[in-house]
């Protein structure tokens, strides 16, 4: 699948370039440094590239990556072809088997706790992906991976005690 280069993606690339980091400096940053309504990702040291998830309006997730040089081209408004592939999911946590919390939430932590109670085996990245496909992202802001992991650990340890 070809990734549509939208203003949302170009904005991420401008934020990448504005930091003026080298690849070595990016390798020392959090891998999920950028989250928007449709994109989540950051620099992956092993890949030597920016690796992102794209969350399509149909709640499908796709993975793609690009280099720092490509980020500069995108930030400058150039047309660049980016290819994506469907995200891989563990068999026991297919999206069709997960339940999304309903209702209003005052904090994203409340949404995460409700999600993890309904989906105790979900990986924190799956939680972030499901969350990014909801209206709550715009209302409550994005999760970082460390935050999602901490919340998952807290909910799971509480469930073990009960």
Residue 160: its pLDDT value, please? 74
Rounded Cα distance between 137 and 59, Å, is 14
7 plus 71 within the same structural domain? yes
CA angle, 140 then 40 then 31, to 5°: 110
* Number of domains comprising the chain: 2
69 plus 42 within the same structural domain? yes
- What percent of the chain is modeled with pLDDT above 90? 23
User: pTM to 2 decimals?
Assistant: 0.58
**18-25 average pLDDT score:** 92
Buried/exposed code over 13-39 (b: 16+ C-beta within 10 A; e: otherwise): bbebbeeeeeeeebeeeebbbbbbebb
Rounded Cα distance between 133 and 32, Å, is 16
Rounded Cα distance between 111 and 83, Å, is 32
61 plus 119 within the same structural domain? no
46 plus 117 within the same structural domain? no
User: Per-residue pLDDT tens for 61-78?
Assistant: 888 999 999 999 999 999
> Band of the pLDDT at 153, cuts 50, 70, 90?
confident
Task: Provide the residue count of the chain.
Answer: 162
Neighbouring-strand partners of residue 133: none
Neighbouring residues of 127: CB distance < 8 A, sequence distance ≥ 6: 112, 115, 116, 119, 143, 148, 152
> Band of the pLDDT at 123, cuts 50, 70, 90?
confident
64 plus 134 within the same structural domain? no
51 plus 102 within the same structural domain? no
User: Per-residue pLDDT tens for 84-113?
Assistant: 888 875 444 444 567 788 888 898 889 988
Compute the mean pLDDT over every residue in the chain, rounded to the nearest whole number: 84
The first and second tokens of residue 55, run together, are 């969350």
Closest by Cα among 153, 136, 130 to 53:
130
Residue 78: its pLDDT value, please? 94
Residue 89: its pLDDT value, please? 54
107 plus 76 within the same structural domain? no
Q: Which of 36, 62, 86 is the last residue of a domain?
A: 86
Neighbouring residues of 48: CB distance < 8 A, sequence distance ≥ 6: 23, 27, 67
113 plus 157 within the same structural domain? yes
Range of the domain at 112: 91-161
Judged against a pLDDT cut of 80, whether residue 159 lies above it is answered with no
Residue 93: its pLDDT value, please? 42
């Amino acid at each position: 699948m070809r990734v549509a280069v939208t203003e949302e993606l170009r904005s991420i690339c401008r934020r990448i370039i504005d930091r003026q980091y080298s690849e070595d400096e990016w390798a020392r940053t959090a891998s999920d440094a950028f989250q928007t309504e449709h994109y989540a990702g950051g620099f992956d040291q092993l890949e030597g590239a920016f690796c992102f998830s794209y969350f399509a309006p149909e709640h499908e997730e796709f993975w793609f990556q690009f280099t720092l040089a490509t980020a500069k081209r995108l930030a400058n408004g150039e047309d660049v072809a980016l290819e994506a592939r469907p995200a891989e999911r563990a068999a026991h946590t297919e999206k069709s088997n997960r339940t999304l919390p309903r209702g209003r939430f005052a904090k994203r932590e409340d949404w995460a706790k409700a999600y993890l109670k309904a989906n105790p085996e979900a990986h924190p990245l799956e939680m972030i992906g499901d969350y990014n496909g909801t209206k709550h992202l715009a209302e409550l802001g994005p999760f970082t991976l460390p935050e999602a992991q901490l919340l998952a650990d807290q909910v799971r340890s509480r469930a073990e005690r009960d």
